[in-house]
Amino acid sequence: MAEAVGARESQGRESQGRESQGQRSGESQEQRSGESGETREQEAGVASPTAFSPFHRGAPAAIGVPLFIVGSIALGLNFINFSPVMQVGTPIAVIFAATGLFQVISAIWCIGLGENIVASIFGIFAGFWLSYAVLVLGLLHNWWGITPAATASKTVVAADTLATTKTVELFLISWLVVIIALTVTTLRLPLAFTVLFVLVDVSLVLKLIGTIEGTQIWNTAAGIVVFAFAAIGLLIYLDTMSQAFGAKPVALGKPIQR
């Protein structure tokens, strides 16, 4: 009996040993299978759940374009003297906290997706909107060493006005050069993008003339053009949302250059 019990115990231990070996073998196969699966996902460009990043999926234009539109509307209203044109700080809350910030987020998002062209566009406009906000705030609070014009001396007033004007001219000319370059280098995009960039160029030219001449009519013309490129931006946003819902894309026109 003792021999029989010992034999059964020995058989039991052998059976348990075989089961544990089978479990270890199964776990090893599962591990190898998981590793090969991860390797296949990496080779296919699919991120594993643990490596997931929100900047590796989605459509940056879904937030970048509408926030561009809202900043453009605020700027256009200021240009047409909806709020007194001398109160240049009126649209800054929208331009800085909404448009500028989310252009930066959209640019970073595009970089994560590897969309270099769109990242360049959002990055350039992020720089424009944020630098415009800093320019206006700096002039209003004398950050740039330009004394506010509210002073008794007419000579000082004239000098301060000239310094402010030259500062704004410098800003407009610098950005005009960059956005003209953007316009030329993106002619392979759908026509709506080219029209939008051309209108941005025109608005900058009109605003520059208005700054030099000191007349409201040029500022109003610039504001109207700003509304025009905001409308083109709305068309691009409709296309983005249409595709996000799985519907047909909105016609944006054929590229000028193929």
Range of the domain at 39: 2-50
Domain assignment present for 64: yes
Same domain (yes/no): 186, 66: yes
pLDDT at 86: 59
pTM: 0.75
Same domain, 84 and 19: no
153 and 131 share a domain? yes
Structural domains counted in the chain = 2
137 close to 129: Cβ distance less than 8 angstroms: no
Determine contact, residues 237/252, Cβ cutoff 8 Å.
Answer: no
37 and 133 housed in the same domain: no
pLDDT at residue 152 in the model: 45
Output the pLDDT for position 144: 81
Domain membership flag for residue 138? yes
Q: Is 76 found in the same domain as 46?
A: no
- Cα separation, 202 vs 26, whole angstroms: 69
| Residue 240, in any domain of the structure | yes
Q: Do residue 46 and residue 125 come from a single domain?
A: no
Tens of each residue's pLDDT in the chain, 258 residues: 333 333 333 444 444 455 444 454 544 444 444 444 444 444 443 444 444 556 677 899 999 999 999 999 999 999 998 876 557 788 999 999 999 999 999 999 999 999 999 999 999 999 999 999 999 999 888 888 875 544 444 444 455 688 889 999 999 999 999 999 999 999 999 999 999 999 999 999 999 999 999 989 999 999 999 999 999 999 999 999 999 999 999 999 999 988
| HSE, side-chain direction, 13 A CA sphere, residue 69 | 16
pLDDT of residue 12: 44
For residues 6 and 30, membership in a common domain is answered with: yes
pLDDT of residue 160: 63
pLDDT at 199: 98
Question: Which residues, in sequence order, are CB contacts of 74 under 8 Å at separation 6+?
Answer: 90, 91, 94, 95, 99
Whether 120 and 187 map to the same domain: the answer is yes
pLDDT at 158: 53
Do residue 65 and residue 38 come from a single domain? Answer: no
- Give yes or no: residues 200 and 136 share one domain: yes
The verdict on residue 139 lying in a domain is yes
Say yes or no: 43 and 68 in one domain: no
Domain identity same for 101 and 14: no
pLDDT at site 39:
46
Structure tokens at 23: 């479990």
